[in-house]
């Protein structure tokens, strides 16, 4: 992956983290529900849900996931990552298809 500049890699890592947060939303909700109304007891009462959230985030942001995203991004011709965040939040100033970098099966069904 020598074709990826440091700035580009930073942007890919940021994008990967955003995707991980989306994918781990059920674990986030479970943890949020567990901690609601607790203070000190969070440490032991929510240990399992915190572990599940951590595992999910770690799985989605590991070196293999980053390498896969880099490879897909390079194959797609290095589309703008700034536009990816705009597209993610519903702004369509630049029509990009970065979602297919992460989940190619979804892009096939949207054509």
User: Measured between alpha carbons, how far is residue 110 from residues 67, 72, 89 in Å?
Assistant: 25, 18, 18
pLDDT of residue 81: 77
Q: Which of 96, 15, 27 is nearest to 61 (CA)?
A: 15
Average pLDDT over residues 7-21: 92
The 10s digit of each residue's pLDDT in 27-79 is 999 999 999 999 999 999 999 999 999 999 999 999 999 999 999 889 888 88
In the DSSP assignment, the letter for residue 77 is: T
Helix (H) / strand (E) element for 42: namely helix 42-45
Average pLDDT over residues 20-29: 94
Give residue 85's pLDDT band: very low, low, confident or very high (50, 70, 90).
Answer: low
């Amino acid at each position: 992956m020598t074709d990826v500049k440091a700035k580009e890699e930073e942007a890919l890592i940021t994008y990967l983290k955003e995707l991980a947060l989306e994918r781990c939303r059920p674990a986030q909700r479970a943890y949020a529900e567990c901690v609601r109304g607790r203070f000190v007891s969070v440490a032991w009462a929510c240990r399992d849900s915190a572990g599940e959230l951590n595992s999910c985030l770690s799985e989605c942001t590991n070196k293999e996931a980053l390498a896969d995203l880099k490879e897909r991004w390079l194959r797609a011709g290095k589309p703008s990552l700034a536009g990816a965040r705009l597209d993610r939040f519903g702004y369509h100033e630049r029509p990009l298809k970065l979602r297919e970098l992460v989940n190619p099966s979804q892009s096939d069904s949207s054509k």
